[in-house]
Structure 1
Amino acid sequence: MTGYRPLYPEIEPYESGMLDVGEGHSLYYERVGTPGAKPAVFLHGGPGGAMSPNHRRQWNPELYDVVLFDQRGCGKSLPFAEIVHNDTWRIVADIERLREMCGHEAWQVFGGSWGSTLALAYAETHPERVTELVLRGIFLARRKEAEWLYRFGASEMYPEQWDSFTGHIPEDERGDIVSAYFRRLTSDDEAVRLTAAKEWASWEGSVITLVPDPDLFVDFTDAAKAVPFARICAQFFLDEFYLEDGQLLANIERIRHIPAIIVQGRHDTCTPPVSAWDLKKAWPEAELWMIPDASHMASEPGIVDGLVRATDRFAGKLGPTE
């Protein structure tokens, strides 16, 4: 692969709306591209993140018909920042509801970071509904990955940011930093909730880029994004993502026949490359593209290049060696 590919031009949805998925939850969704073209679904990160206009631009709009949506409690979905009736398997069921709503027999599943976890969980549950997988920043939701981010690991790479993050919590509560934050994120005091959310988002925002991006950091810690991100993220970490430890790797035989491209930043300190490598070892048929000058964010040039090339490949625009 030579010469970085940019995102496709800015594009507006040709359809958007709310999908009632029951239990009091309603999902905001968008459709972009060409109706009736190759179907795909985008799964954003988090847990607790949201989609953005740039996410629409990772596919050739003439060749794809893409659904993007905000997961339960996220972005424009309602109720805002809701953690009740919000778990991995309910989101997997939501993806199926969206497929049925669109009338697709099967589709490409594209997910980054937490979205890669969801993509694997969905594909292993509904392998007959997946034509290809495009995965970025692999997170297998194993205990060691959670501990890397919130116990020991990333803390060694970003010690001053870790001290700031843990410093928000009294010393006698730091033995379980996620539980301590969750108590504050679910406090009856709005100010306590907001302060904890911004601290949580600041920590994650510190570890996701190779080169610091002040604008991205400000965006990441904006209250409208930080509150759902922190609340939902903390809940999922506490409940071990509603998966058995190692479950996604253990069930990989269910999807080994599905074509897949994994795009992973070599210097990713949020979801370290070892998880992508473990996935590749368990799934030799998948292609692993290790990006040498990238970290975690989908907006980094090398990651953008890999993702656009992957979707082009699966649309038949590029050959197998391009």
Structure 2
Amino acid sequence: MIDFSELQSTSTITDEWKYPEAGAGRSGLLQVASEPNHRLYWEEYGSRTGEPVMFLHGGPGGACAPIMVRFFDPTRYRVIIFDQRGCGKSEPTVADAGPAVALNGNTTDCLVEDINKLRGALGITSKMHVFGGSWGSTLALVYAIRYPQHVATLILRGIFLGCRDDLLYMYQGNAESFADAPFALTRPGSYVSYPEEWKAFVEIIPIDQRRDMMAAYKAIFDMNPTTDAERALQLRAALAWSVWEAAISNLIPEQHPGKFGEAAFALSFAQIEAHFFANDLFLEHDYILSRIDRIAYIQTHIVHGRFDQASPLTQASRLKEALTAAGTPPATYLVTNAGHSAMELQTALALTAIMDGLPLLG
């Protein structure tokens, strides 16, 4: 018998990191809103006098972790990571306080202004490097469009522009016809490469509600549960949503979903994402590309996995084309042999090399 256990292990970075994982130099909670009292949890790493890097996590609702600062030379950079509203160690979270509280005042406009509030609270007066992946790339681009005077460099990974077609690719796929033809390729979608994981995601929703999977999930999340059965359904839906995204975020799915399979994380992550997606990310149609001229002069570096099934490569292609048409092609445009996650080997090494090679801020 041939042992195939070693053929599919992982595509993520392990011992190849250039910089060690270290503890935060400072951390805290910053109140950014009242009624409800949103407080952002933040951490600072590296050199207190270094070039500021504002790290924007994905999701929305993905939260930060110390490993995320290993892209940066700690002797050169002052790295700020923080959990956006409603997730991670920020307060209140959706899991703890419920969506009626934690999703109140939780919009893209609010998150953009939170970046400025954090920047001010930490005494950052110079331009910053803004580093974001997936939803973090969306937020970085929106922030740069609104506050180009604060941005020295954009370092973007797994570009997510948030168009309706991009969301349908990830969450709708062949769901409507799945019961009759589960392996039919009725439209493009992430499901093509992850059929078993897709089955678990689809079957949470009754057959007659699969015409709009995002709306069906949102209806479950919006329910005010009054029974154990309703609470259990909400949790199952949150876990299914969260684990589905974890599965398609790596070229080779991890054997265990990690935090994505934990109840507290999933309840926040899934409900925040559904909230933003149901509201078109709280952005006008084609908001970023229609305003690309506002950031065309900002040095922009783009890294995208060729096999990304959460944010297909076409999104990076559209951004590259728009920047080029505006007169300033990306300073870096690198397509790696990887999936979506920043922790995939080639992508992690590329991001680290870009940060090492940036010109010193004057």
Q: Structure 2 length as normaliser, TM-score?
A: 0.83
Q: Tell me if the contact between 2:247 and 2:254 (Cα under 8 Å) persists in the aligned partners.
A: no
Separation in structure 2 between the aligned mates of residue 110 and residue 136 of structure 1, nearest angstrom: 8
Q: Which residue number in structure 1 is paired with residue 302 of structure 2? A: 262
- Matching of residues 64-143 of structure 1 within 5 Å: 64-81=77-94, 82-105=102-125, 106-143=127-164
Bigger mean CA offset, 5-14 vs 109-118? 5-14
Bigger radius of gyration, 1 or 2? 2
Decide which of 332, 335, 338 is 1:291's aligned counterpart.
335
Question: Unmatched 5+ residue regions in structure 2?
Answer: 1-14, 95-101, 174-188, 226-230
Separation in structure 1 between the aligned mates of residue 214 and residue 332 of structure 2, nearest angstrom: 32
Separation in structure 1 between the aligned mates of residue 359 and residue 19 of structure 2, nearest angstrom: 14
Separation in structure 1 between the aligned mates of residue 332 and residue 150 of structure 2, nearest angstrom: 22
Separation in structure 1 between the aligned mates of residue 332 and residue 195 of structure 2, nearest angstrom: 30
**Identity rate, percent:** 40
Q: Which residue number in structure 2 is paired with residue 223 of structure 1? A: 263
Q: Which residue number in structure 1 is paired with residue 31 of structure 2? A: 20
Q: Which residue number in structure 1 is paired with residue 346 of structure 2? A: 302
Separation in structure 2 between the aligned mates of residue 146 and residue 288 of structure 1, nearest angstrom: 26
Q: Which amino acid aligns with 1:263?
A: V
Q: Which residue number in structure 1 is paired with residue 222 of structure 2? A: 186
Bigger mean CA offset, 217-226 vs 205-214? 217-226
Q: Tell me if the contact between 1:5 and 1:308 (Cα under 8 Å) persists in the aligned partners.
A: no
- Matching of residues 269-284 of structure 1 within 5 Å: 269-284=309-324
Measured at CA, do residues 248 and 5 of structure 1 come closer, stay the same or move farther in structure 2, by a change above 3 Å? farther
- Per-residue deviation at 1:192? 2.3
Separation in structure 1 between the aligned mates of residue 261 and residue 223 of structure 2, nearest angstrom: 19
Q: Tell me if the contact between 2:60 and 2:272 (Cα under 8 Å) persists in the aligned partners.
A: yes
Q: Tell me if the contact between 2:336 and 2:347 (Cα under 8 Å) persists in the aligned partners.
A: no
Q: Which runs of 4+ in 1 moved over 6 A?
A: none
Deviations 1:1-33 (CA, angstroms, capped at 9, x unpaired): xxx962410111111000000132000000111
Measured at CA, do residues 315 and 55 of structure 1 come closer, stay the same or move farther in structure 2, by a change above 3 Å? farther
Separation in structure 2 between the aligned mates of residue 315 and residue 68 of structure 1, nearest angstrom: 22
- Per-residue deviation at 1:188? 2.9
Q: Tell me if the contact between 1:154 and 1:207 (Cα under 8 Å) persists in the aligned partners.
A: yes
Q: Tell me if the contact between 2:156 and 2:301 (Cα under 8 Å) persists in the aligned partners.
A: yes
Deviations 1:26-81 (CA, angstroms, capped at 9, x unpaired): 00000111111101100000011110110121110000011110000010001112
Separation in structure 2 between the aligned mates of residue 244 and residue 145 of structure 1, nearest angstrom: 15
Q: Tell me if the contact between 1:280 and 1:287 (Cα under 8 Å) persists in the aligned partners.
A: no
Deviations 1:153-191 (CA, angstroms, capped at 9, x unpaired): 112332332222111111111111112111222333332
Q: Which residue number in structure 2 is paired with residue 154 of structure 1? A: 190
- Per-residue deviation at 1:315? 5.1
Q: Structure 1 length as normaliser, TM-score?
A: 0.93
C-alpha RMSD of matched pairs (Å)? 1.6
Q: Tell me if the contact between 2:47 and 2:75 (Cα under 8 Å) persists in the aligned partners.
A: yes
